């Protein structure tokens, strides 16, 4: 198909910066007329191309076949059928307004209700170490106790010593030394003092117990009792010792032992019937606690005065002291016992007699012996060979050290998976000695239960002897012992090469041997296998149910191994990525000390994982920053070698040799980590400033990665927050100017918000995380420590404020929220200037309201409008004052700037985001309160008394909260009835809420002529007054409403007489006094350092920004795992797959009915819905059975047209007199958002619009804020929107001289296309596939076509004049089908267009008496029109004579009521369904027999 050269579908660059301001519409029209002559030759070529085509069958030069599927209008066919374009169209599908910043409007999430996400005390601050140990051994070798009958042979070994192989004294000494050595090697804690007592007599018992308590003070005492040589403990609570002559066994009461040892204590009982001791110790401990509590509550009375011995001597004994209650109660005494009260210790000769002690203090040796005794196969190993296992306990490279390492991992893992979390922390993490003993106890339970002996403990532990991880331990032992023979042979061969050693005495220790060669030892695969199991758990485990991984303690132990460290850290990263609950679990297991120590590791491959781990930890626990700034490894290190310097070196831009993938992303994490180090921590700010972190962040502000730009900015904000030296450095290096330039050019909303946050902290907002720290200190009142003069400080503050004002219309709510915080900081520092600005604004509004009232009373149709050049005059005065010699010090400049700031705050009180409007209202309330309390208060009251009488009655109620659900109007099933007066709940009332509805002009609109002052495609929306005229528009009502509230705040009623004019001299004197008070207050604040400044109790400003807390949540969310909707097999993913399959099915089924739709009747009614108000807009969802109706009260109603029921009804959030002018759906292929545009220029997006319990505002912004004044003959169509899903753009226009293009991803204005029209824009459509062609209809009947790829001055490529003679009701280009373009006007003309032609293809007169509405089907070749009498005609685009269907839409009316014309009409995008709204009802029609055909 031949096409004109200008419409070849080529992609031309979109111009953004080369826009021109067309302010003279007449001149624009003249320019266009001149250009028509230049295009005459081009148009003749187009006509020639049309003539060369075959003669059409229906008079259409570009329409060949009846099916219409072979040709597409406007030359789009070849562009859309190209292979590259189709591939791009299939691959590219984006969802908009679904980023994290839209979930809560850029605010931090509320705290999680899941206890697993709550912070825990993982540091064990109340930990108690074991400071002293009493080791009591009662053997009396050679004398068996009378109540024990030993077998023959019997277990003999005590501490691996045969007591009968040596003389008694030497054997006892050897046993004691071995026991002490085993305890000392248990936890390698030199701070624990061990005292050994061998066969102690009863007289020494009290002494060594009380001495141990004195040594330990408030720490724990360990009491070990070996009673193998004394009788069993009695059931009455007594154990046995000896007399001095060792001729008798003397009982000792456990109550006395408890009193001597005190608390806290851990007791180890290795004797038969040890359960009797455990039971009585618990009983006596509880009694001891009760006695101490009673004595403390009832202390003994002091002796009476004068009592004593004769001669006035003091009494023989001092008065008893008040009993001291220990910090740890006696009932919390820890006990480990070898057996129950009725059991006897095992006497197997292959086992040691102190089997329980061996399990506790030498677990590896007894575990090897136990394994060999149970080995089912024949082996050449002997029990004696096991004691010769080479290696050292603390050397993990040797067999013995590796087994010790594995044993620690196994027992910790068993305890981690079986014990409650608090008990695990108490027993395995608070004290190294207690942890080692309980690891041995787990082994004792396994071994001794095998020999029918049950160890017990207090606190009691669940059974662990049959835990499956013991099988992994047996495998590791088997792998080690299978190499023992080879290892011993190699060891003997090496020792044979050593010189002969001299003979030694039996009690003489052998000299140390020189280091030998490496052993031929193959290391265990235990840790590699456990890491693999952990990896499988991460990939396929029960992660959604938040189960703790079984292998996490093993990962902790693997960090000690250099061979497996990298893999362990990578897996740890994946685990921490699961969320805050995973961070809690990892820290509770003890991971923190390891990752802190690893910051000393120089390995480059560890840098990415350590950065990620620390980012996840600090995101949850910010107080860990103190550990990064400590100089603890080693103590002699300087501050620059503290652990935080690990991240400083990576962030430095000069470090270009980093072997790190995605280096910008990891540098962003470093910037985040360092920002946390600076937040609320002055040593951190000083350290980062000294380490050049500030300069590094400034360099990264221009990085390509937006995440690095964002966190570099936030790091700068935290460094100079309340740190004057950093603020002075930033100003001297012009960082604030760089941030202001970034604010004007940045395309990423999060970066813009972070820049605004940084500037607000520079100007005095607080970046603290503490709720008690509300205020900061501005650059304008810094002390001389900053190195800036007062004038420099003021220049910076005002310059930043002027640059930030441009963000008042930013499309991102977080940016505007931080702007309000910044402006509140300026208000706090310059209260006098804002009092002056508020007074002048008040006087100006009163004078305008009086002028408007006078013009209305005189009958003059021309109102006194707000001057169009006001904004330009302010800009000119600012520029002139700034360029003068005084610069910002110029009083005129300051007055104009503060006036601009005040008006910006004033406009932000009407922000569509409720929380932003509330923050701005809070600041305005503060200013107004200061105004009435200031010297200008009387003058302000006089000005208010001069306000017109109309100002005393409000016309606008406060706007309701967006998304407020009208629950009383919802009915679950059936056709809903009208509710009985659903009220609109309002916002929280403040003094400025009424002012919040006031825009810059704040003037009454002219009295309208039909089609109305606010025509929404032919519908009158203004409220009718009793005399039949339309009430004034929004601005008039808001102005008088605000003045009425100000009169109420002033405390004096409006004067009905002539107001007294205030003395100008007195006003000027008051103004001068206010300016002087500002200067004096700043001077005083500069004289106080920030450390000596306290927050005044009555201070309310500045506000506090929340963007840092929101940005911090990025590192709490999962970054490595796919989202739930992208995870195959998840519920969300399955729902998405089903949804898209359903969408394709709907498209396929409905496409087959396009031809039938052009020949069938459309008068089959399938739905009737009663609305509470007249719908002015209706919209069908493409795939869900939803139709949304927006009425003139700003209420949105959602119906299910298939089930015939109302499912939701909620408010838009705009004032009641501001109707909704446009409704669109966004992301219809997935979970759709509802987009609304109201006549005041606000755009809002709602998620979950169909759910009464979950509907919420996703985002909002001021789409068009520059509403230009109109002439008396002009009308307004409100805010006209069109949404391009393919490109993510919102096209909007209205009573302005441009079509604005908003980018949904950037949330910025992308382009302004000049309309070159003298009337308002009434309808807008575009090419939905490529998105380059725009078609607009106007109030004067013109239809214009624009190409976005062309420069602004030339982008209007068609201007169709004279075809419509009235207001263009609708212009629409199909998104499917043949891409037909139709337009219709109030006069009844309907035109079918091809944008390559200068004239319409066809024109028909749809209605002789005028047309109210027109709708076009998106895919089928049909369109519908309605007359003022509600006659609906459905037309085929293939016919032009008669409609294919004609019927009357007759809403139910009461007797005497006038029938309302059609207010809105819309086709379903795919189904052959038509919705018609008139009166207060919505009717739904379908093509005849469509339901039966569709179900087939």
Residue with more model confidence, 408 or 27:
408
Residue with more model confidence, 387 or 714:
714
Residue 93: its pLDDT value, please? Answer: 67
1170 phi, psi to nearest 5 deg: -90, 125
Q: List the one residue out of 1378, 1320, 1323, 1324 whose CA is nearest residue 1348.
A: 1324
How would residue 1095 be classed by pLDDT, with cut points 50, 70 and 90?
low
Contacts 24+ apart (CB under 8 A), 1119-1124: 1119/577, 1120/573, 1120/574, 1120/577, 1121/577, 1121/578
Q: How many CB atoms lie within 10 A of CB 800?
A: 24
Query: Distance from first CA to last CA of the chain, Å, rounded?
Result: 37
Q: At what angle do helices 813-829 and 790-804 cross, to 10 degrees?
A: 150
Query: Chain centroid to CA 264: how far?
Result: 44
How would residue 852 be classed by pLDDT, with cut points 50, 70 and 90?
confident
pLDDT(1457) > 60: no
Taking residues 316-343, what's their average pLDDT? Answer: 79
Q: Tokens standing for 1400?
A: 């319409």
Taking residues 804-829, what's their average pLDDT? Answer: 95
Query: Chain centroid to CA 1416: how far?
Result: 42
Residue 1009: its pLDDT value, please? Answer: 29
3-state helix/strand/coil string of 473-517: HHHHHHHHHCCHHHHHHHHHHHHHCCCCCCCCCCCCCCCCCCCCC
pLDDT in tens, 447-463: 999 999 999 999 999 99
Please state the length of the chain.
1496
Q: Tokens standing for 183?
A: 């305890």
1467/1472 Cα distance (integer angstroms): 7
Residue with more model confidence, 634 or 654:
654
Q: List the one residue out of 592, 581, 589 whose CA is nearest residue 550.
A: 589
Question: In the block, which residue shows the tokens 């020494």?
Answer: 204
Residue with more model confidence, 869 or 305:
305
pLDDT in tens, 917-963: 999 999 999 999 999 999 999 999 888 887 776 554 444 456 777 77
711/688 Cα distance (integer angstroms): 15
Please provide the DSSP assignment of 1412-1448 as one string.
EEEEE-SSSSEEEEEETT-EEEEEETT--SS-SEEEE
Taking residues 1111-1120, what's their average pLDDT? Answer: 93
**Torsion, Cα of 314, 317, 323, 329 (10° steps):** 150
Question: In the block, which residue shows the tokens 């739709």?
Answer: 1157
65/1080 Cα distance (integer angstroms): 84
pLDDT(883) > 50: yes
pLDDT(691) > 90: yes
Q: Tokens standing for 1102?
A: 């500045």
Taking residues 1027-1044, what's their average pLDDT? Answer: 39
Q: List the one residue out of 959, 955, 913 whose CA is nearest residue 1216.
A: 959
528/1098 Cα distance (integer angstroms): 63
Taking residues 464-493, what's their average pLDDT? Answer: 92
292/247 Cα distance (integer angstroms): 37
How would residue 1302 be classed by pLDDT, with cut points 50, 70 and 90?
very high
369 in Cβ contact with 383 (< 8 Å): yes
pLDDT(183) > 80: yes
Taking residues 782-792, what's their average pLDDT? Answer: 88
Residue 1028: its pLDDT value, please? Answer: 33
Residue 1012: its pLDDT value, please? Answer: 32
Q: Tokens standing for 138?
A: 């009662």
Angle at 121 between CA 115 and CA 123, to 5 degrees: 145
E strand residue ranges, 111-152: 130-137
Taking residues 209-234, what's their average pLDDT? Answer: 94
Taking residues 611-630, what's their average pLDDT? Answer: 95
Dihedral of alpha carbons 854, 860, 863, 867, sign: negative
Question: In the block, which residue shows the tokens 């909007």?
Answer: 1292
Q: Is the whole-model pTM more than 0.95?
A: no
Q: How far from 175 is each of 61, 212, 354, 359, 788, CA to CA, in Å?
A: 113, 22, 11, 16, 76
Residue 850: its pLDDT value, please? Answer: 83
Q: How many CB atoms lie within 10 A of CB 547?
A: 10
Burial class (CB in 10 A: 0-12, 13-18, 19+), 156: middle
Q: Tokens standing for 381?
A: 């190993």
Please provide the DSSP assignment of 844-903 as one string.
HHHHHHHHHHHHHHTT-SS--PPPTTHHHHHHHHHHHHHHSSSGGG-HHHHHHHHHHHHH
228 in Cβ contact with 354 (< 8 Å): yes
């Amino acid at each position: 198909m031949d096409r004109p050269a200008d419409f070849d579908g080529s992609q031309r660059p979109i111009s953004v910066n080369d826009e021109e301001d067309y302010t003279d519409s007449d001149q624009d029209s003249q320019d266009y007329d001149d250009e028509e002559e230049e295009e005459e030759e081009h148009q003749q070529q187009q006509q020639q191309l049309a003539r060369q085509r075959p003669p059409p069958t229906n008079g259409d030069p570009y329409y060949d076949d009846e099916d219409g599927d072979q040709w597409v209008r406007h030359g789009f066919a070849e562009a859309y059928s190209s292979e590259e374009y189709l591939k791009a169209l299939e691959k590219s599908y984006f969802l908009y307004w679904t980023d994290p910043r839209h979930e809560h409007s850029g605010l931090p999430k509320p705290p999680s209700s899941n206890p697993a996400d709550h912070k825990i005390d993982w540091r064990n601050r109340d930990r108690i170490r074991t400071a002293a140990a009493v080791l009591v051994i009662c053997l009396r070798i050679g004398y068996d106790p009378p109540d024990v009958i030993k077998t023959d042979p019997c277990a003999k070994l005590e501490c691996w010593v045969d007591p009968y192989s040596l003389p008694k004294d030497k054997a006892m000494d050897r046993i004691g030394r071995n026991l002490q050595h085993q305890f000392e090697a248990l936890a390698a804690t030199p701070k624990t003092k061990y005292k050994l007592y061998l066969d102690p007599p009863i007289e020494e018992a009290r002494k060594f117990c009380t001495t141990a308590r004195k040594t330990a003070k408030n720490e724990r005492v360990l009491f070990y009792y070996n009673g193998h040589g004394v009788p069993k403990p009695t059931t009455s609570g007594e154990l046995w010792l000896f007399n001095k002559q060792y001729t008798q066994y003397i009982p000792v009461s456990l109550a006395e032992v408890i009193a001597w040892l005190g608390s806290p204590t851990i007791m180890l009982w290795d004797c038969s019937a040890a359960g009797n001791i455990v039971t009585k110790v618990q009983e006596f401990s509880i009694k001891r606690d009760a006695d101490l509590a009673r004595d403390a509550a009832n202390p003994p009375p002091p002796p009476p005065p004068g009592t004593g011995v004769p001669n006035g001597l003091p009494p023989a004994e001092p008065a008893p002291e008040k009993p001291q209650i220990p910090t740890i109660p006696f009932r919390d005494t820890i006990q480990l016992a070898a057996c129950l009260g009725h059991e006897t210790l095992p006497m197997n000769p292959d086992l040691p007699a102190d089997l329980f002690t061996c399990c506790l203090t030498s677990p590896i040796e007894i575990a090897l012996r136990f394994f060999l005794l149970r080995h089912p196969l024949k082996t050449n190993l002997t029990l004696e060979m096991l004691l010769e296992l080479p290696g050292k306990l603390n050397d993990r490279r040797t067999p013995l050290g590796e087994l010790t390492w594995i044993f620690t991992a196994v027992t910790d893992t068993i305890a981690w998976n079986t014990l409650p979390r608090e008990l695990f922390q108490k027993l395995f993490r608070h004290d190294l000695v207690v942890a080692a003993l309980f690891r041995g106890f787990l082994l004792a339970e396994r071994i001794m239960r095998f020999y029918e002996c049950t160890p017990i403990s207090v606190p009691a532990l669940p059974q662990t002897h049959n835990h499956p991880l013991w099988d992994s331990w047996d495998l590791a032992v088997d792998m080690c012992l299978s190499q023992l023979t080879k290892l011993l042979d190699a060891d003997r061969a090496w020792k044979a090469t050593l010189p002969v050693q001299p003979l030694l005495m039996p009690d003489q220790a052998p000299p140390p041997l020189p280091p030998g060669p490496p052993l031929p030892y193959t290391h265990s695969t235990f840790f590699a296998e456990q890491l693999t199991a952990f990896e499988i758990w991460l990939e396929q485990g029960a992660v959604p149910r938040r189960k703790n991984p079984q292998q996490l303690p093993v990962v902790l132990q693997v960090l000690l191994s250099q061979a497996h460290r990298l893999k362990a850290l990578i897996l740890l990263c994946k685990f921490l990525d699961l969320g805050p609950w995973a961070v809690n679990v990892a820290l509770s297991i003890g991971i923190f000390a390891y990752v802190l120590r690893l910051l000393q590791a120089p390995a480059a491959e560890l840098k990415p994982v350590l950065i990620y781990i620390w980012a996840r930890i600090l995101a949850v626990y910010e107080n860990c920053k103190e550990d990064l700034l400590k100089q603890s490894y080693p103590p002699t290190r300087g501050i620059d070698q503290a652990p935080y310097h690990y991240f400083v070196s990576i962030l430095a831009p000069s470090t270009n040799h980093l072997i790190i993938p995605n280096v910008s992303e990891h540098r962003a994490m470093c910037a985040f980590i360092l920002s946390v180090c600076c937040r609320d921590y002055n040593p951190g700010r000083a350290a980062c400033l000294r380490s050049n972190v500030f300069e590094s962040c400034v360099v990264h502000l221009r990085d390509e990665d937006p995440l690095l730009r964002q966190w570099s900015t936030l790091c700068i904000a935290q460094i100079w927050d309340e740190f004057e030296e950093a603020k002075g450095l930033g100003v001297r290096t012009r960082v604030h100017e760089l941030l202001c330039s970034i604010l004007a050019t940045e395309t990423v909303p999060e970066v813009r918000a972070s820049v605004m946050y940084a500037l607000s902290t520079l100007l005095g907002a607080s970046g603290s995380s503490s709720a008690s720290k509300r205020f900061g200190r501005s650059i304008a009142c810094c002390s001389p420590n900053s190195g800036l003069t007062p004038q420099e400080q003021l220049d910076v503050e005002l310059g930043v404020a002027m640059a930030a004002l441009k963000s008042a219309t930013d499309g991102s709510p977080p940016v505007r929220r931080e702007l309000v915080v910044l402006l509140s900081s300026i208000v706090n520092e310059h209260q006098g200037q804002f009092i002056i600005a508020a007074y002048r604004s008040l006087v100006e509004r009163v004078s305008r309201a009086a002028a408007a009232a006078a013009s209305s009373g005189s009958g003059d149709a021309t109102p006194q409008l707000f001057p169009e050049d006001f904004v330009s005059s302010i800009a000119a005065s600012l520029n002139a004052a700034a360029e003068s010699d005084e610069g910002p010090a110029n009083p005129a400049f300051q007055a104009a700037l503060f006036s601009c700031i005040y008006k910006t705050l004033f406009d932000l009180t009407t922000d569509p985001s409720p929380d932003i409007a509330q923050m701005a209202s809070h600041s305005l309330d503060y200013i107004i309160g200061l105004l009435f309390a200031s010297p200008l208060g009387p003058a302000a009251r006089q000005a208010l008394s001069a306000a017109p009488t109309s100002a005393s009655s409000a016309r606008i109620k406060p706007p309701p909260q967006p998304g407020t659900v009208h629950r009383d109007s919802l009915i679950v099933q059936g056709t809903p009835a009208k509710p009985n007066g659903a009220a609109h709940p309002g916002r929280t009332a403040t003094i400025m809420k009424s002012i919040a509805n006031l825009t810059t002009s704040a003037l009454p609109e002219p009295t309208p002529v039909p089609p109305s002052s606010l025509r929404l495609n032919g519908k009158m929306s203004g409220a009718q007054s009793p005399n039949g005229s339309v009430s004034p528009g929004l601005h008039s009502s808001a102005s008088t409403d605000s003045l009425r509230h100000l009169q109420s705040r002033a405390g004096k009623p409006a004067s009905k007489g002539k107001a007294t004019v205030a003395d100008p001299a007195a006003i000027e004197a008051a103004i001068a006094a206010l300016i002087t008070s500002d200067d004096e207050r700043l001077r005083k604040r500069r004289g106080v350092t920030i450390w000596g400044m306290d927050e005044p109790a009555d201070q309310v400003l500045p506000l506090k920004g929340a963007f840092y807390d929101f940005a911090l949540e990025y590192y709490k969310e999962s970054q490595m795992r796919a989202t739930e909707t992208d995870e195959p097999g998840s519920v969300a993913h399955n729902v998405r797959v089903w949804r898209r399959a359903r969408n394709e099915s709907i498209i396929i089924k409905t496409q087959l009915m396009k031809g039938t739709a052009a020949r069938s009747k459309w008068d089959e009614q399938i739905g009737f819905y009663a609305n509470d108000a007249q719908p002015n807009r209706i919209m069908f969802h493409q795939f869900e059975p939803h139709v949304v109706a927006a009425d003139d009260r700003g209420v949105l109603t959602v119906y299910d047209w298939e089930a015939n029921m109302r499912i939701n009804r909620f408010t838009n959030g705009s004032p009641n007199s501001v109707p909704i002018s446009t409704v669109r759906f966004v992301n219809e292929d997935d979970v759709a958002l509802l987009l609304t545009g109201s006549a005041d220029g606000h755009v809002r997006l709602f998620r979950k619009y169909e759910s009464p319990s979950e509907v919420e505002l996703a985002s909002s912004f001021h789409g068009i804020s520059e509403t230009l004044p109109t002439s008396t003959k002009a009308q307004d169509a409100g805010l006209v929107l069109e949404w391009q899903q393919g490109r993510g753009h919102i096209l909007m226009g209205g009573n302005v001289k441009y079509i604005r293009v908003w980018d949904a991803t950037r949330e910025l204005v992308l382009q302004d296309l000049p309309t070159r029209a003298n009337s308002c824009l009434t309808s807008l459509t575009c090419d939905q596939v490529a998105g380059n062609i725009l078609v607009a209809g106007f109030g004067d009947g013109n239809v214009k076509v624009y190409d976005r790829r062309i420069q602004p001055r030339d982008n209007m490529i068609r201007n169709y004049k004279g075809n419509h003679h009235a207001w263009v009701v609708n212009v629409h280009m199909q998104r499917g089908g043949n891409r037909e373009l139709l337009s219709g006007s109030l006069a009844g003309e309907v035109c079918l267009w091809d944008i390559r032609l200068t004239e319409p293809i066809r024109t028909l007169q749809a209605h002789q008496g005028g047309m109210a509405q027109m709708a076009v089907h998106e895919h089928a070749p049909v369109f519908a029109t309605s007359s003022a009498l509600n006659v609906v005609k459905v037309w085929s685009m293939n016919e032009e004579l008669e409609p294919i269907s004609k019927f009357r839409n007759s809403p139910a009316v009461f007797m005497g009521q006038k029938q309302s014309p059609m207010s809105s009409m819309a086709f379903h995008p795919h189904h052959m369904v038509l919705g018609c709204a008139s009166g207060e009802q919505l009717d739904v029609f379908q093509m005849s027999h469509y339901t039966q055909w569709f179900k087939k």
